[in-house]
Amino acid sequence: MKVFFNTFGCKTNQYDSALLGQSLERSGFELTGKLEQADWVVVNTCSVTKRGEDKACQWVRKVGREFPGVGIAVVGCSVEVSAGRFRELEGVGLLLGTEEKFRLGEVLRERLERINGSGPALEEQRGRIGLTGKYEGREILSAHAERARAFVKIQDGCDNRCTYCIVPYARGRSRSRPWEQIVAEARALEEAGHYEAVLTGIHIGGYGRDLAGRPSLSVLVEKVLAATDRIRLRLSSVEATEVDSRLIELLSRELRLCRHLHLPLQHGSASVLARMGRKYNPEEYKAALDRVLDSLGHPGLGTDVIAGFPGESEKEFEECFNYIAALPFTYLHVFPYSPRPGTPAALLAGRPPVAAVRERVRRMRELSKKKQENFLKEQLGSRLSVLHESRLSSGVSVCRADNYVRAYHRGASPAGGFILVAERTWRDGVWGRLEC
Ligand code: SF4
């Protein structure tokens, strides 16, 4: 039985799909990268934005239309919060929620073992997410196919309630994975030949609060570094106010901990942050950032920004723009506000006109481009610690530096981490030469 995966959304979803694929293979299914060969298709969905969900819907419709007879299993976040959008679509035979998706192998096997296809055409299982207070134990991921950088999930869910965010409704309360499992997984991925592991989750800054002894994120990082030899670690998105002094100290001295932080801001105006329900104001965010910069100089520094939040006035947008312009971010992820049914913000009035939002997004992305270009220029002449990622058809190697800069060089890359000396800016990165 051949299974094809299509995964939408975040690193945590990519990790979940990799784990699902591994457990399907271990229970006798075969994974295929070719849709036309598939007997079943698994769509791991994302509900953070309407656009992300629309894309998954469109894709499911396409499969149902072009591959009649292929079974479609829709799993994950959108099944928890918008199952109705998928239930009637042609070919959909399984709807499994955020926790239930990990029973995919079992459910598919039960289905196949049913005599003559008896039983309901559509099976739906979801809602356990609301009942789960603990991180459910699962097998560890032993390899991350086709990925230079492996993801290691350390936590799921979130206890915050930012007013625009659907994630807590889709993924439930914050649940930390036992650190022993994470250490074992990082070791397994290192043995499998991965040179980088991205510690990911939904709210990684809250790691350990629900575990005995409350091991913090920095304690976890120390444990993984102590238990591994050469794999480097990268942190996925973490709240700026949750980067503690121990983590900053580790970032400043551990060469195997990437000098790259993604610290979601969402907005730079105090009044909008308050309406978003974010747990800091611009001064507190800046103070947290200054603590990082005082120790790390100018690391790779990304953030998320939402434009067009309900009630966002021209003045509030300019406040946000100027606030961000003054901070040493090296790139911005800019999103137009997307109302998610069931979130408090979706009920707020005063959404700015579409044209105004489009213009605000355009300006923020332009600012991001400038910041990225400035940071690339800062790299010239410096020695970058990089890992190979891929090759262009021209044979040029594409690499990623620990500070998240993309770096290119001629010819093949040595295995593992190596040094490139940045010579000039090139494409969306720098052109470098191997240090002999
Ligand atoms: S911290 Fe806020 S934005 Fe992030 S997942 Fe939690 S509720 Fe959503």
pLDDT the model gives residue 146: 60
Q: Do domains 132-258 and 271-278+287-379 have the same CATH topology?
A: yes
Atom number in ligand 1 closest to CA 165: 8
Q: Which of 277, 260, 279, 350 is nearest to 314 (CA)?
A: 350
Residue with CA closest to ligand 1 atom 2: 162
Q: What CATH number has the domain spanning 380-434?
A: 2.40.50
Helix (H) or strand (E) holding 101: none
155 CA distance to ligand 1 middle (Å): 13
Residue 363, classified by CB atoms within 10 Å of its CB into exposed (0-12), middle (13-18) or buried (19+), is middle
Residues in the chain: 436
pLDDT the model gives residue 131: 66
pLDDT the model gives residue 116: 55
Average pLDDT of adjacent 10-residue blocks, the chain of 436 residues: 96 96 94 96 97 96 96 97 95 95 92 67 80 77 78 96 97 95 96 95 97 97 98 98 98 97 98 98 98 96 98 98 98 97 97 98 98 98 95 95 97 91 97 91
Q: Are 245 and 287 in contact (CB under 8 A)?
A: no
Q: What CATH number has the domain spanning 271-278+287-379?
A: 3.30.750.200
pLDDT the model gives residue 169: 95
405 CA distance to ligand 1 middle (Å): 26
Select from 77, 158, 236 the residue to mutate for testing ligand 1; criterion: most ligand atoms less than 8 Å from CB: 158
Segments making up each domain of the chain, as ranges? 2-125, 132-258, 271-278+287-379, 380-434
Q: What CATH number has the domain spanning 2-125?
A: 3.40.50.12160
Q: Ligand 1 within 6 A of 286 CB?
A: no
Q: pLDDT (tens digit, 9 = 90+) per residue, 356-369?
A: 999 999 999 999 99
Helix (H) or strand (E) holding 230: none
Q: Which of 345, 351, 352 is nearest to 162 (CA)?
A: 345
pLDDT the model gives residue 364: 98
What top-level class would CATH report for the domain 132-258? alpha beta
